[in-house]
Amino acid sequence: MSRIATKISLIGICLLALSSAAQAQSGATARAGSPPQPVSESDRSRDGLIGPVRRVRTEVAKLIIQDGKQVESKRVMLEIVAYDLKGTKIENQYFPIAGSTLTGKEVYKYDDRGNISEMTMLNTDGSLLSKETYKYEYDFAGNWNKMTTSVAVIDGGRFTFEPTEITYRAIMYYLDENIVKMATSPTPATSPNTVPTTT
């Protein structure tokens, strides 16, 4: 009986030693050569911004008819958002505009850059309430800094879009080597600033 107990004890000790060695090796491997963990998405990238954006100030200007010409009214502050170096949103000041409440369902289409290019508003019964399109202009880093909103109208029996509002974003960047290169390099003629929307 004691011989069997001795064998079982030796087997147990060997298994314990092998298990300890395997745990030590996996711990050392995890510290030394394990693949990097995926980087979590930042607030800045979730907000659709590219590069080390520090602050975004968004303003809206209504387009009105004055003396027979379409002109911009005074700009109204809509939002100011600030990010830290890691892209975490550290400040969000929102300035709601009176009378901007909407009812019904909004359906969106997006352009190649992931920006909303068209919004269709439907009543709760599914009937068409309104339709808007959006055209963008971009800064040197590829973030939009001007958006023109046009609303669908019927004029003389023709369906067309009339510009009604311009939204401006003033974007401030943290200084790094890539931003300096982008800001100082000439914009190639093949990449237009305005991206047409789909209708």
**How is residue 179 written in tokens?**
């931003």
Assign 3 to helix, strand or coil: helix
The tens place of each residue's pLDDT in the chain, 199 residues long, gives 455 544 444 444 444 443 443 343 334 334 444 444 455 789 999 999 999 999 999 999 999 999 999 999 999 888 899 999 999 998 888 776 654 544 567 888 989 988 899 999 888 788 898 999 999 999 999 999 999 999 999 988 999 999 999 999 999 999 999 999 999 987 654 344 444 444 3
Q: Which tokens hold the place of 181?
A: 């290169």
The maximal CA–CA distance of the chain, rounded, in angstroms, is: 111
Look up the pTM and report it: 0.60
Which residue in 41, 42, 54 sits closest to 169, CA to CA?
54
Contact 109, 117 (CB under 8 A): yes
